[in-house]
Amino acid sequence: QVSPRQILHTLARGLTELGVPHPLHIHGSNLGVPGNIESTLATIDALEGLRAHLTHIQFHSYGTEGPKKFSSAALQLVEAVNSHPNISIDVGQIMFGQTVTASGDTMRQLANAHHANPRKWIGADIECDAGCGVVPFRYKEQSYVNALQWAIGLEIFLLVKDPWRVVLTTDHPNGGPFTSYPHLIRLLMDREFRNEQLARIHPDVAANSALKDITRELSLDEIAIMTRAGPARLLGLADRGHLAVGAAADIAVYREAGDPESMFTTPEHVFKDGVRVAHRGRITATPVGGTHFVEPEFDQGVEKHLKAHHAVHGSVRFEHLAISHDELCECSRCGGTHVVPCTPGGAH
């Protein structure tokens, strides 16, 4: 008998022993289900101090309190993250307005199809090995559920103490498009603006949310960490997320504006690997990006056991599972491949 807890722990231990720089990336159980905070906390506990990254955590921070049996469990989640330095998160903030949800969980998207706004959706199987479901969706300020999701995400952003372990995301496009980041940044940096927005949402959420009592405003340094330096460090990209000698010249230059949203909406300059790609809202170049990957050393004798198992239980040949360097180059249109070094037994 193998439990999900054992699988999680073994995968996290395997990455640590192989020296892979990034932590195990976990999509938790019971996404979007009221009361899922219990399985989220159990997941953190199961790791027993091993590094892990919990993704779009807002969707996994729900309680069952109140007359609607759907409540914020952000305070419980934050307490766990603050007390477990091995855990990092990205928030998956929802943003009001039109977006589209895309998921490899085809059957979940089939179940969500009746929420489609506008009333159309796509579901597909891919060689019976994988699938994809795409459902358009509109988050509404006066929806109790949507308003609560919005408040939960902001509570998490503002109450986790260590910005190096929080990544600013909207789970693009599921919680909202990444083009909404400037608005989200203003919500985090400007308490007065945040309270104005809070007053516009469903009144039951506005009245009961901890958000109204949070005075913290994120600094520009903290935004830089959550959007640049922190993700680079978590991924082990030593040449990204900073401006030291030898770093990749990925640089955004902004002019101060009346508010953070205006400033971040239109950068003065954007450079990618030293090439200016945007100037005052206009695209100036479209260089090809590269692919970052790891090549940890391992006992290749294990492959004979994997091949035997795969021959019985797999749906494609075992040889098709590995990705060659040529294929990596093709995926990145030969924009370059970058091996991220592994450090077995090393500290991260």
Q: Tell me if 187 sits within 8 A of 154, measured CB to CB.
A: yes
- Does residue 265 form part of some domain? yes
pLDDT of residue 288: 85
Model confidence at 310, pLDDT cuts 50, 70, 90, reads very high
Res. 302 pLDDT band, cuts 50 70 90: very high
Comparing CA positions, the residue from 245, 38, 312, 32 lying closest to residue 148 is 32
My answer on whether 268 and 127 are in the same domain is no
Average pLDDT for residues 97-114, to the nearest whole number?
A: 91
Phi-psi label, residue 190: left if phi above 0, alpha if psi -120 to 50, beta otherwise: beta
Q: 181 and 152 in one domain?
A: yes
Say yes or no: 49 and 83 in one domain.
yes
Taking the C-alpha atoms of residue 49 and residue 47, their distance in angstroms, rounded to an integer, is 6
- Pair of tokens at residue 52: 């892990």
Q: What is the mean pLDDT of the chain?
A: 94
Residue position matching structure tokens 């089939």: 110
Same domain, yes or no, for 179 and 298? no
> Which domain-ending residue is among 139, 167, 198?
139
Q: Is 344 part of any domain? A: no
- Are 231 and 108 members of one domain? no
Least confident interval from 74-78, 335-339, 340-344: 335-339
Question: Whole domain around residue 277: which residue ranges?
Answer: 249-287
Higher pLDDT, residue 324 or 28: 28
- Which of 106, 122, 139 is the endpoint of a domain? 139
Q: Which residue has the tokens 């091993």?
A: 50
Domain boundary among 176, 208, 239: 239
Structure tokens at 318: 């075992």
What's the whole-number mean pLDDT along residues 84-109?
95
Same domain (yes/no): 200, 127: no
Whole-number pLDDT of residue 219: 98
196 & 268 share domain: no
Assess if residue 345 is contained within a domain.
Answer: no
One domain for residues 10 and 67: yes
Residues 203 and 279 in one domain: no
CB atoms within 10 A of CB 200: 12
pLDDT of residue 314: 86
Helix (H) or strand (E) holding 196: helix 191-198
Say which residue, 347 or 34, is predicted with more confidence. 34
When divided into structural domains, the chain yields a total of: 4
* Residue 177 in this model has a pLDDT that exceeds 90: yes
In angstroms, rounded to a whole number, what is the distance separating the alpha carbons of residues 88 and 234? 8
| Dihedral-angle region of residue 62 (phi above 0 means left; psi in -120 to 50 means alpha; beta otherwise) | beta
DSSP string, 127-190: TTTEEEEEEEEEE-TT-HHHHHHHHHHHHHHHH-S-GGGEE---TTTTS--GGGHHHHHHHHH-
Residue 221 and residue 150 share a domain: yes
Residue 347 lies in a domain: no
Q: Which of 24-33, 142-151, 325-334 has the lowest mean pLDDT?
A: 325-334
Report if residue 348 sits inside a domain: no
Tell whether 22 is covered by a domain: yes
Q: Give the pLDDT mean for 172-179.
A: 96
Q: pLDDT by residue (tens digit) across 247-298?
A: 999 999 999 988 999 999 999 999 999 999 999 989 999 988 888 999 999 9
Kindly report, residue by residue over 49-91, the tens digit of the pLDDT.
999 999 999 999 999 999 999 999 999 999 999 999 999 999 9
User: What is this structure's pTM?
Assistant: 0.94
How open is the CA angle 340-345-346, to the nearest 5 degrees?
60
State whether 111 and 215 are in the same domain.
no
- On the question of pLDDT at 347 being above 60, the answer is no
- Residue range 130-158: mean pLDDT, rounded: 96
Strands 62-63 vs 71-72: parallel, antiparallel or unpaired? antiparallel
Lowest mean pLDDT among 174-183, 219-228, 310-319: 310-319
- pLDDT at residue number 289: 83
Under the banding of pLDDT at 50, 70 and 90, the label for residue 325 is confident
Q: Is residue 229 part of a domain?
A: yes
Q: Residue 46 falls within a domain, yes or no?
A: yes
- pLDDT for 332 equals 65
pLDDT at 334 over 70: no
State the pLDDT confidence band at 41, using cuts at 50, 70 and 90. Answer: very high
Do 165 and 33 lie in one domain? The reply is yes
